[in-house]
Every structure is written in C-alpha cells, then in structure tokens.
Amino acid sequence: MSATILAAGVTGSLAVVGYGLAAIGPGVGIGLVVSKTIESIARQPELRSTLQSTMWLGIAFTEALALIAIATPFFLK
C-alpha cells in the first residue's frame, strides 16, 4: 500500500532524470582531463603550452558529447 502512495506522488518526466545522468559523465570526464593535465605539467613544465592546448581540445570534445546527449531526446520526439 505504501508503494502505491509513493508512486502516486511522483509526477513529471523521466527526461529530467536523463538530463541529470547525461551531465554526470562529462563532469567526471572534464575533471579527469584537467587533473591529468595538471599532473603532466607538474612533471614536465616545459610542455605546458602543448599540454594546455590538448586539454582544451579534450574538454571541447567531452562537452560536445554532453550536448549531443541532452539534445538527442528532442530530435527523437
């Protein structure tokens, strides 16, 4: 009986949950890209400019995946 009461109180769309899950992956990915870049710069400071440009490229690709994941449900509707 309590499960019925709980289910009756839930309203909205599962798309909201999907948007939240779509944001978790890129957040973790960007954190990993930046942390590994900082580690690499600490180990070899002379490669800083090369590593930073590669980092920005990695962040851009990761964000593109996030935007695709969020926009896909709108196109499939």
Express each pLDDT in 7-16 by its tens digit.
555 556 776 7
**CB of 28 within 8 A of CB of 2?**
no
Instruction: Report, as an integer, the average pLDDT of 44-66.
Output: 93
Amino acid at 50: T
Q: What residues have CB less than 8 Å from 25, skipping those under 6 apart?
A: 65, 66, 69
pTM: 0.68
Residue 69 vs residue 4, higher pLDDT = 69
Instruction: Report, as an integer, the average pLDDT of 34-54.
Output: 96
Instruction: Report, as an integer, the average pLDDT of 46-73.
Output: 89
**Structure-block tokens of residue 47:** 């490669």
Instruction: Report, as an integer, the average pLDDT of 60-75.
Output: 82
Domains of the chain, earliest start first = 24-77 (1.20.20.10)
Amino acid at 76: L
